[in-house]
Amino acid sequence: MSQNVLASAAGVAVEAKRRRTFAVISHPDAGKSTMTEALALHARVIGQAGAVHGKGDRKGVVSDWMAMEQERGISVTSAALQFSYRDVVINLLDTPGHADFSEDTYRVLTAVDSAVMLLDAAKGLEPQTLKLFEVCRQRNIPVMTFINKWDRPGLDALALMDEIEQRIGLKPTPLTWPVGIAGHFRGVVDRRTGAFVRMERAPGGADLAVEEEMSADEAAERFGADWTTATEELELLEMTGADFDEAEFLAAKSTPVLFGAAVANLGVSQLLNILVELAPPPEARPTVAGDDRPVEGAFSGFVFKIQANMNRTHRDQLAFVRINSGKFERGMIVTHAGTGKPFATKYAQQIFGQGRETIDEAYPGDVVGLVNATTLGIGDTLYVGTPVKYPALPSFPPEHFAAVTAADTSTYKRFRRGIEQLDGEGVVQVLRSEQRGDGVPVFAAVGPMQFEVATHRLEAEFGVKVTLNHLPYEVAARTDEAGREILRAESNIEVMTRVRDGALLAVFPHRWRMRTVAGRHPDLRLDA
């Protein structure tokens, strides 16, 4: 191996160690987008946080850029933000919290090296948080926990620690501990140093919080009973062995815990510093062949998201590529693993919410946006040199179905173009029904809110109003041609073709009906 190649590989390894790529996950309304904004504020890449007045005033939230997100105060699509802090490059992926957008969140979690789990202090572990954590567990993703909204009334801190350990099986190891119960937040004790940091919300809440380090004597004098309670709880944590262990954290067996309030920017600087110090950098990734592609190897990456019309001026399409190995250079010719064809990367951009700028190079852990990469699909692998292919991203089984028609036949061409775009992005799964024909595609979704997003975007971006006819199906399973023929004789069942990959999906009104049919036809293939 030449000296130049060795030097290049060493340079890539150094750059990879500077990356921290993580997602923020939580139940809806736990404060994900607010936290994303607060982290960017503390890294001083924005001037003021935009989510300081709740759902009614979210125009400034850089990660919630879609009109529907700003109007309704929810995140319906994932967003990527890249910025630097303490000589570390942060790749922060904000995710939709609503269960209806589980597919988008799952795809994001394939592209990160760690996650921050946000818990509402008043609600603790909620259903969607548990589901998202299970995805992290399956992928062995290290998880940090941030107890949010400690400036409002909530649960007991020790009770929250017990809930985390009992319900998700992770050992909580608090790195900061609150002084003052939820709703009377005084500040936090840094358990690693023993220092107490008094915290006070800045006027209006849009700027950095006021922080003041105080001695134990000063804290005891000023906060009296609150300080005494906190010190007693800290002694209990020490007695129970709730101390941070890096190996256990990286093995996804324990979770560091911090306390704060993102909307008031309290405790956010501690989280950002701990992410820089403790979150893992990119490592070698497993491939379909069963080996690992080292980060210092030749370039490779995969598409985990496609989004169109982020830029209303150019109406273009962006493929989000997570770089797994090697150095990316704009203009390089890479190979599309699925087709074996070359692909030019002339139009590459760095992403910051809806904003973006041309990027000339990137390294493992970074997310690069490839503009108008219409030949790329979700899950596609790109590489240089030795061929590599990363595992495909699975689709979630849909539970809601609706036939969609254009309200005005004169808009049919735009209607078809919009349907193809939404299918390519994975906003919904698009199915072809034999009995309805090509003119009436069927939307299949994990949750009904996906229908709202799809119809909203068809009207807003393509000028097409549509009518949805909801179909009486709740269960889908993959089948084959033989299965299609068997099921033709059954009532209240359809076999449709998934447009994206040609898979045949048998749809049933409920699971009992599927089991009954399967019992009558033992040779019938039904893969849930």
Pair of tokens at residue 254 = 């324990």
Which among 400, 413, 382 is positioned nearest to 447, based on CA atoms? 400
**Same-domain pairing of 205 and 300:** no
* Domain limit, last residue, from 248, 278, 308: 278
Rounded Cα distance between 317 and 458, Å, is 15
> Pick from 320, 339, 332, 328: which is nearest to 300 by CA?
328
Do 81 and 187 lie in a common domain? yes
94 annotated as belonging to a binding site for a ligand: yes
440: tokens are 């009436």
* Domain termination site, one of 348, 383, 418: 383
Structural domains of the chain, count: 3
Name the DSSP class of 261: B
Query: Is 527 annotated for ligand binding?
Result: no
Does 95 belong to an annotated binding site? yes
49, 98, 83: which is closest to 366 by C-alpha?
Answer: 83
Same-domain status, 323 and 240: no
361-398 confidence digits (pLDDT tens): 999 999 999 987 888 988 999 999 999 999 988 777 89
Tell whether 394 is covered by a domain.
Answer: no
Question: Is 11 part of a structural domain of the chain?
Answer: no
Residues 411 and 511 in one domain: yes
Say whether both 456 and 327 belong to one domain.
no
Q: Check whether 286 is labelled as a binding-site residue.
A: no
Are both 170 and 27 inside the same structural domain? Answer: yes
Domain boundary among 383, 411, 438: 383
Residue 46 or residue 290, greater confidence: 290
Does 5 reside within a domain? no
> Measured between alpha carbons, how far is 469 from 451 in angstroms, rounded to an integer?
11
Q: At what angle do helices 102-109 and 127-138 cross, to 10 degrees?
A: 30
Selection from 327, 332, 324, 364 nearest residue 348 by Cα: 332
Let me know if residue 1 belongs to a domain: no
Kindly write down the DSSP assignment for every residue of 446-490, as one continuous string.
Answer: SSTHHHHHHHHHHHHHH---EEEEE-S--EEEEE-HHHHHHHTTS
Structural domain harbouring 60 = 22-278
- Residue carrying the six token digits 């979630």: 396
The CATH number covering residue 422 comes to: 3.30.70.3280
225 in any annotated domain: yes
Q: Are residues 292 and 228 in the same domain?
A: no
Give the model confidence (pLDDT) of 393-416 as tens digits.
877 789 999 999 999 999 999 999
Q: 71 and 215 in one domain?
A: yes
260 with 121, same domain?
yes
pTM of the model: 0.81
The token pair at 2 is 């030449």
The answer to whether 77 and 68 are in contact (CB under 8 A) is: no
498-516 pLDDT, tens digit each: 998 899 999 999 999 999 9
Give the containing element (helix H, strand E) for 30: none
Nearest alpha carbon to residue 34 among 128, 160, 120: 120
| 100 & 245 share domain | yes
Q: State whether 239 and 309 are in the same domain.
A: no
On whether residue 421 sits in a domain, the answer given is yes
**pLDDT over 70 at 5, yes or no:** no
Is 97 labelled as part of a ligand binding site?
yes
6 assigned to some structural domain: no
Separation CA 41–CA 430 (nearest Å): 39
Quick one: average pLDDT of 452-481? Answer: 93
- Name every residue whose Cβ is closer than 8 Å to that of residue 474 and which is 6 or more positions away in sequence: 399, 400, 508, 509, 510, 511
CA distance 413 to 399: 28
Query: Does residue 41 register a pLDDT over 70?
Result: yes
**Ranges assigned E (strand) in 330-485:** 333-336, 342-344, 348-352, 355-358, 361-362, 367-371, 381-383, 400-406, 429-433, 442-445, 466-470, 475-479
What's the whole-number mean pLDDT along residues 47-73?
Answer: 44
**Which pLDDT belongs to residue 203?**
66
236 with 331, same domain: the answer is no
Instruction: Decide if pLDDT at 261 tops 70.
Output: yes
Domain annotation covers residue 7: no
Q: What is the CATH number of the domain that holds 310?
A: 3.40.50.300
Q: How far apart are CA 202 and CA 263, in angstroms?
A: 11
Q: Give me 408's structure tokens.
A: 């005005």
- Residues 190-215 pLDDT 10s: 999 999 999 998 766 667 888 999 99
